[in-house]
Amino acid sequence: MTDIECVISGVGGYLPERVVTNHDLAKKVDTTDEWIRSRSGIGQRHFVADGEVTSDLATNAAWKALDKAGLKPRDIGLIIVATVTPDNTFPSTAVYVQKKLGVPTGIAFDVSAACAGFIYGLNIAHNFISTGQVKHALIIGAETLSCFLDWEDRATCVLFGDGAGAVVLSGEPPRTARRPRGVLATYLAADGNLAEHLYADGGPSSTGTVGKVRMNGKEVFRNAVQEISDAVFEVTERAKISRHEIDWFVPHQANIRIIQSCAKKLELDESKVVVTIDKHANTSSASIPLALEAGINDGRIQRDQLLVFAALGGGLAWGSALVRY
């Protein structure tokens, strides 16, 4: 047990300027706005400009999160970037963010857990902070997925977008023993037997290329509904909190039908679910912190409320986190 609470002290998001609507896509892909909306809930996505890289998006989101936390780059002891679209194969995108922010020497690395990457990063940062190794950590989900979509594969290329979301996690002394704040419980899992359902068909040691996104949509959909719901049950049990106490479900934004099915299984009213997929599409590791920022900025998510994050993606890897904001 620890006497340090890991509190979300700031949240920031960044979406590239270029908006691509379903109608825009229908000009180059054999698809329609109606199909994309009805099957996925997506209306538009943001794509990077030429020369804009993942660390640029991540840095912009991080500046906003730092500002909201009232912190300076020198206060940050740990930077974790969750991404499957790093600037380069190595070094980590996190060190480029460190350089761009002007964070002095500290810990910086990337996490590769696809759409579950932000939850994996949150869990890791929680461990660093609660064991007293660092005081403030930046956890950033950042993706430029547009760079490895196959425009001939209409079942996947219409689903993804670019963006970044960042959270500052800070170690604080407990306010009251009765009502702990911050990260209350996390749950992580992966099953490599299911890797064939969502992956990029390239890499440095296999093809020497980056590859393109390949997905068996139906299998991923089925697993997502099951594992995301189970992951929420798991964290509420770990924290000994009834899921009926949850104020906001902030899920990974892959498909509105997945989100609705999970909410139904969890008996969470749709009015308690933060949805951004219509505007952002699926931004993989960035989707939860971007949705969190949207919910905070429009005044729905308030301090002291109970939030649950949950995601599933390539790996398959999945996880959840219960947080008193």
Residues with a catalytic annotation lie at 115, 252, 282
Collapsing DSSP to helix, strand or coil, 34 comes out as helix
Torsion of CA 255, 261, 264, 270, to 10 degrees: 20
Regarding 119 and contact with ligand UT7 (CB under 6 A), the answer is: no
Residues 6+ apart with CB under 8 A from 246: 236, 268, 272, 306, 307, 308
CB of 249 to ligand UT7, least distance (A): 16
Question: Which stretch, 35-43, 132-140, 165-173, 203-211, contacts ligand UT7 (CB under 6 A)?
Answer: 35-43
- Asked if 49 is part of the footprint of ligand UT7 (rule: CB under 6 A), the reply reads no
**207 touches 199 (CB < 8 A):** no
One residue of 81, 95, 220, 228 binding ligand UT7 per CB under 6 A: 220
Query: Per CB under 6 A, does 83 bind ligand UT7?
Result: no
Q: Is 320 helix (H, G, I), strand (E, B) or coil?
A: strand
Q: Report if residue 213 touches ligand UT7, rule: CB under 6 A.
A: no
Cβ atoms of 119 and 320 closer than 8 Å: yes
- Does 137 help bind ligand UT7 (rule: CB under 6 A)? no
**Residues of span 239-258 touching ligand UT7 by CB under 6 A:** 254-255, 258
The reply to whether 155 sits near ligand UT7 by the rule CB under 6 A is yes
Size of the site for ligand UT7 (CB under 6 A): 20
Binding pattern to ligand UT7, positions 222-241, x when CB under 6 A?
--x-----------------
The pair of three-digit structure tokens given for residue 227, joined into one six-digit string: 């594992």
Residue with smaller CB distance to ligand UT7, 186 or 284: 284
* Binding status of residue 148 toward ligand UT7 by CB under 6 A: no
Q: Considering beta carbons, is residue 202 or 217 the nearer one to ligand UT7?
A: 217
Phi-psi region of 266 (alpha: psi -120 to 50; beta: other; left: phi over 0): alpha
Q: How far is the CB of 41 from ligand UT7 (least distance, A)?
A: 9
- Which C-beta is closer to ligand UT7: that of 129 or that of 258? 258
CA pair distance 112, 101, nearest whole angstrom: 22
DSSP 243: G
Shortest CB 236 distance to ligand UT7, Å:
22
> What's the closest the beta carbon of residue 38 comes to ligand UT7, in angstroms?
9
Helix (H) or strand (E) holding 57, with range, is: helix 54-69
Q: Which residue is nearest to ligand UT7 (CB)?
A: 217
Task: State how far the Cα of 172 lies from the Cα of 174, in Å rounded to an integer.
Answer: 6
Q: Which is nearer to ligand UT7, 127 or 260 (CB)?
A: 260
Q: Does 158 bind ligand UT7 (CB under 6 A)?
A: yes
Nearest to 166 by CA among 12, 301, 8: 12
What CA–CA distance (Å, rounded) separates 157 from 143?
A: 15
Q: What is the dihedral of CA 90, 282, 230, 200, to 10 degrees?
A: -40
Does 214 sit near ligand UT7 (CB under 6 A)? no
Q: What are phi and psi of 299, to 5 degrees?
A: 85, 0
Beta bridge pairs of residue 163:
143
Point out which residues bind ligand UT7 (CB under 6 A).
Answer: 31, 35, 39-40, 115, 154-155, 158, 198, 217-218, 220-221, 224, 254-255, 258, 282, 284, 313
